[in-house]
C-alpha cells in the first residue's frame, strides 16, 4: 500500500486529502474504520483499481 497526501481548498475551506493506493479488498473496511477515527475526518471514497485492489481517498479538515 502506498500513501500520499496533499492540501486543497474549496469555498474558502481548507482540506487535507489522503490517497492510499493498492489496498487489498480484505483491508479496506479496517483502514476506513481507523481513518474515520482520526481528528478532522470528513468523508471518504473507494475507487476500484483494474487489478481488483482499491484506492482509498480520505478528506480531513486542514
User: Exposure of 16 by Cβ count < 10 A (0-12 exposed, 13-18 middle, 19+ buried)?
Assistant: middle
Whichever of 6 and 39 has its CB closer to another protein, that residue is 6
Q: Report, in Å, the least distance between residue 8 CB and another protein.
A: 5
Take residue 6 and report the three cell numbers written for it.
496533499
Region of residue 17 (phi > 0: left; psi between -120 and 50: alpha; otherwise: beta): beta
In the complex, minimum distance from the CB of residue 47 to another protein, in angstroms, rounded to a whole number = 5
- Please list every residue from 2 through 61 that binds another protein, using CB under 8 A: 2-11, 13, 15, 17, 19, 21, 25, 28-30, 32-33, 42-50, 54-55, 57, 59
Amino acid at each position: 500500500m502506498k500513501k500520499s497526501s496533499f492540501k486543497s481548498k474549496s469555498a474558502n475551506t481548507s482540506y487535507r486529502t489522503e490517497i492510499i493506493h493498492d489496498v487489498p479488498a480484505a483491508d479496506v473496511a479496517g483502514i476506513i474504520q481507523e481513518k474515520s477515527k482520526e481528528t478532522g475526518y470528513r468523508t471518504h471514497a473507494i475507487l476500484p483499481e483494474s487489478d481488483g485492489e482499491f484506492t482509498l481517498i480520505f478528506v480531513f479538515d486542514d
